[in-house]
């Protein structure tokens, strides 16, 4: 039987991909929500998570809620902390409060981030030490804890997926997203790629189709209730990833000094041990960075 769901943040990079892939994995999309005034998503309605009244209009009479709206950023969080707290934390609380008042026990699927971890040069497990260095990372760690409190007191189930570095774009057909998009755009425009500290830091890179696959295959499994999973992928240093992506271009990759300000909030090596999610699915990587003809 179809699993009914809504997607909040349906107009964002990850939300759009969840909308795209959900039907393939047996989900019936009942509604899509975002603050954006334009959308091509099915059954779309405009919502502002920071408003209780607006959130009360969301149709939560479903099995699953993909809560993919949010505000990301590094230094910006210090300048606009009110917005970060309002959208990322109060927004989630408004949704949970609405569910509590309406007696909903839909399961919330929530994307968290590598940035909650203390960086180490070893594959990080979900239980490893945390050291959020930005307001955004603090927001995400707070959201993970908030979800746990509502599960305990009001029986609202959830699963958290921590994402490291996504890439790929199945919607608009280019790869202009995030770190990989940055490398590619520099290469295509004939500009050198500059990497702080020579790009020795390691990350786990996951194609967006594999992120959606891991989430959509496991979110409906009862054993994932109340659990946190690292999203699996391929681990490379930033320099290795830049070399792979630009191999068909004559791009100069240059090392530069870390700016003091950036070094203070840099997490260090953050790459994932994905054993926990691999216990649930056959494989985490179906698309390899090395196989893509950028
Ligand atoms: N992309 C990544 O690298 C990454 C990694 C880890 C976690 N995440 C998390 O996944 C989620 C989605 O990320 P993304 O990359 O798709 O971000 P995005 O910025 O592309 O999308 C976020 C969406 O949230 C919507 N939104 C913002 N404020 C809103 C509000 N007040 N009410 C309703 N909607 C609002 C935006 O309009 C946007 O469409 C975020 O919570 C992000 O923190 C992303």
What class, spelled out in words, does domain 168-204+234-291 have in CATH?
A: alpha beta
CATH number of 3-165+207-230: 3.40.50.720
Q: How much is the mean pLDDT over the chain?
A: 95
pLDDT (tens digit, 9 = 90+) per residue, 68-99?
A: 999 998 889 999 999 999 999 999 999 999 99
Planar angle of CA 283, 288, 291, nearest 5 degrees: 140
The CA 73 to ligand 1 mean position distance, Å, reads: 10
d(CA 241, CA 203): 9
Q: Residues of CATH 3.90.25.10 domain(s) within the chain?
A: 168-204+234-291
Name which of 44, 148, 144 is nearest 88 in CA terms.
144
| pLDDT the model gives residue 16 | 96
| Residues 106/64, Cβ–Cβ less than 8 Å | yes
Q: What is the pTM of this model?
A: 0.97
Site to substitute for ligand 1 among 69, 136, 160, most atoms within 8 A of C-beta: 69
* Residue among 41, 40, 23, 24 nearest 32 (CA): 41
Strand partners, 160: 110, 228
d(CA 235, CA 176): 20
Which of the four pLDDT bands, split at 50, 70 and 90, describes residue 272? very high
Atom of ligand 1 nearest to the CA of 136: 43
Q: According to CATH, where is 3.40.50.720 located in the chain?
A: 3-165+207-230
Question: Residues near 64 by Cβ (< 8 Å), separated by ≥ 6?
Answer: 3, 4, 5, 6, 27, 106, 107, 108, 109, 219, 220
> Ligand 1 pocket by C-beta < 6 Å: which residues?
9, 11-15, 34-36, 47-50, 68-72, 87, 91, 111, 113, 163, 166, 178
Residue 285 CA to residue 206 CA, distance in Å, equals 7
* Residue in 21, 68, 67 with CA at minimum distance from that of residue 286: 21
């Amino acid at each position: 039987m179809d699993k009914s769901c809504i997607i909040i943040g349906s107009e964002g990079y990850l939300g759009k991909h969840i909308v795209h892939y959900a039907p393939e994995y047996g989900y019936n999309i009942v509604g899509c929500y975002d603050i954006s005034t334009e959308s091509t998503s099915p059954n779309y309605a405009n919502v502002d998570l920071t408003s209780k009244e607006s959130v009360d209009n969301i149709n939560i009479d479903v099995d699953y809620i993909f809560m993919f709206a949010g505000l990301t950023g590094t230094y910006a969080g210090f300048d606009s902390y009110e917005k970060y707290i309002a959208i990322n934390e109060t927004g989630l609380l408004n949704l949970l409060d609405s569910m509590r008042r309406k007696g909903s026990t839909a399961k919330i699927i929530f994307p968290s981030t590598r940035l909650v971890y203390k960086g180490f040069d070893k594959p990080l497990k979900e239980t490893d030490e945390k050291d959020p260095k930005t307001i955004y990372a603090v927001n995400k760690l707070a959201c993970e804890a908030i979800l746990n409190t509502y599960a305990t007191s009001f029986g609202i189930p959830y699963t958290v997926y921590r994402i490291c570095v996504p890439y790929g774009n199945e919607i608009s057909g280019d790869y202009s997203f995030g770190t990989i998009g940055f490398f590619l755009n520099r290469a295509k425009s004939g500009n050198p790629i500059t990497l702080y500290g020579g790009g020795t830091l390691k990350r786990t890179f996951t194609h967006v189709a594999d992120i959606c696959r891991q989430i959509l295959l496991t979110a409906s499994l009862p054993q994932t209730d109340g659990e946190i999973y690292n999203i699996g992928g391929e681990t490379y240093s930033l320099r290795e990833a830049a070399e792979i992506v630009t191999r068909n271009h004559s791009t100069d990759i240059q090392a530069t000094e870390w700016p003091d300000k950036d070094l203070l909030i840099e997490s260090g090596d953050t790459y994932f041990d994905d054993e926990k999610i691999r216990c649930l699915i056959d494989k985490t990587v179906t698309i390899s960075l090395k196989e893509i003809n950028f």
